[in-house]
Amino acid sequence: MVFGFFIIVTNCSSDDDSTSTSNTNTLSPISIEFVNENGTPIATDCLDVNENYAIQIVTEQEGSGSIAVTQIQYTLNGALYSMTFNQIGYQRQPVVLVDGQNIAQLVDTGVTDEIRFIIQDDFELVL
């Protein structure tokens, strides 16, 4: 004689998902700054119109576990932009500086960085 023994377990409760914990965490921005396009700090107050510049945002992880793709919003001279992060660290976005004061701000934290960019018109030295 062969006896078969089957156990079928079903669970119809919709509350199960709310009791499980997720190990997915988002990233938080910790700084925003103007840098040279290659990521090096801007070392002088005299900016060269022939150089390329960027905004750099640095993030840290909230909690532990895997990292969820996180969109970080910032403004540059009042215009809203965003960067998408999928790992801890930094990202850069090339920018074109405007003549005068340039202000970058993280939307979530209010952290800002400012840089003054002066475009000098062509001039002629008269002796």
| Averaged pLDDT for residues 32-58 | 93
Residue 76, CA distances (Å) to 33, 94, 107 in order:
11, 12, 10
DSSP-derived secondary structure letter, 75: E
Q: How confident is the model at residue 62 (pLDDT cuts 50, 70, 90)?
A: confident
Higher pLDDT, 123 or 102: 102
Task: Encode 33-64 in three state secondary structure.
Answer: EEEECCCCECCCCCCCCCCCEEEEEEEEECCC
Q: How much of the chain, in percent, has pLDDT values that exceed 90?
A: 62
CATH number, span 26-117: 2.60.40
Q: How confident is the model at residue 6 (pLDDT cuts 50, 70, 90)?
A: very low
Amino acid identity, position 80: L
Whole-angstrom distance, CA of residue 9 vs CA of residue 38: 58
pLDDT of residue 71: 97
Sheet holding 27-36, edge to edge: 27-36, 53-61, 89-95
| pTM for this model (two decimals) | 0.75
